[in-house]
Amino acid sequence: MLKKEKESLSKTSESIKCKVCRFEPPEFVLEAIRQRIKEFQKLGRDGYTRFKFQPFLDLEIDATTETELAFCISTANSSAKAGLRFQKMLEGRDIFSMSVMDFEELLKKSGVRFYRKKAVYIRDAIKKFHSISLPEDDTARDLLVKEISGFGYKEASHFLRNIGRENFAILDRHILEWLEIKQRNLSRKKYLEAEQKVREIASRLGKSVAELDLFIWSMKTGMVLK
């Protein structure tokens, strides 16, 4: 990296760090972040958890690893709330026997964009997921991007974070704005460079990347979702 690029990166990191440090959320937001991290950890450990989104949304969701996979596919280029509505509709259903049309109907009802294409991705991902052995290191993300249709680096990072892997950055538009990055469609190289910036800032603040992500998301949206 050139000297000017390093200096620019350092200045940007300090700028973001200062903005985060100045933000003092109320205790209920901090508690919601702690709760969400515990829910992610339980999902990764046990294969299921109950997400509680109060006081931000009057919503609780019983999630499994498979419905979380479906949720993360559903939110790509769509809203988190639409994805949550979709995941809620999956409760109590035998998702392993659901057809593409079944998923399509629920996605459409939930207001998820590109529901036809995502229905195919979700059906195929659920069928394929248990044949994939995820390594413990960062190569897990590369494997998911390779094997799961509908997963780019952001979506794979989203899923891994939501099953308790706390060192992956979910570079959605909210986080990219905070990183002062105007580009939205990042190449693998650019994604990893931006993620490293997030990791450095998180380390300086004494937070995990997962905590910092939820922290920034709450600043941008006023909510702690997932």
Q: What is the pLDDT of residue 139?
A: 96
What's the pLDDT tens digit per position in 118-169? Answer: 999 999 999 999 999 999 999 999 999 999 999 999 999 999 999 999 999 9
Sign of CA pseudo-dihedral 20, 24, 26, 31: positive
Q: Would 110 be classed as within a structural domain?
A: yes
Annotated catalytic, 58?
no
Q: Which domain holds residue 175?
A: 26-46+58-221
- Proportion of the chain above pLDDT 70, given as a percent: 90
Q: pLDDT tens digits for 181-225?
A: 888 889 999 999 999 999 999 998 889 999 999 999 998 899 999
Whether 151 and 119 have beta carbons less than 8 Å apart is answered as no
Q: What's the pLDDT band for 101 if we cut at 50, 70, 90? A: very high
Confidence band of 24 (pLDDT split at 50, 70, 90): confident
Rounded CA gap, 22 and 79, in Å?
28
Instruction: Name the catalytic one among 88, 172, 213, 226.
Output: 172
Task: Identify the active-site residue in 88, 118, 154, 226.
Answer: 154
- Does 21 map to a domain? no
154 is catalytic: yes
The tally of domains found in the chain comes to 1
Within-domain flag for 10: no
Q: Is the peptide bond before 26 cis (omega within 30 degrees of 0)?
A: no
Return the CATH number at 138.
1.10.340.30
Question: CA dist 176 to 133, 190, 217, 226, Å?
Answer: 30, 12, 11, 17
Task: Note the pTM of the prediction, 2 decimals.
Answer: 0.90
Please report whether residue 143 resides in a domain.
yes
Look at residue 14 and tell me if it is in a domain. no
- Give the confidence band of 13 by pLDDT, cuts at 50, 70, 90: low
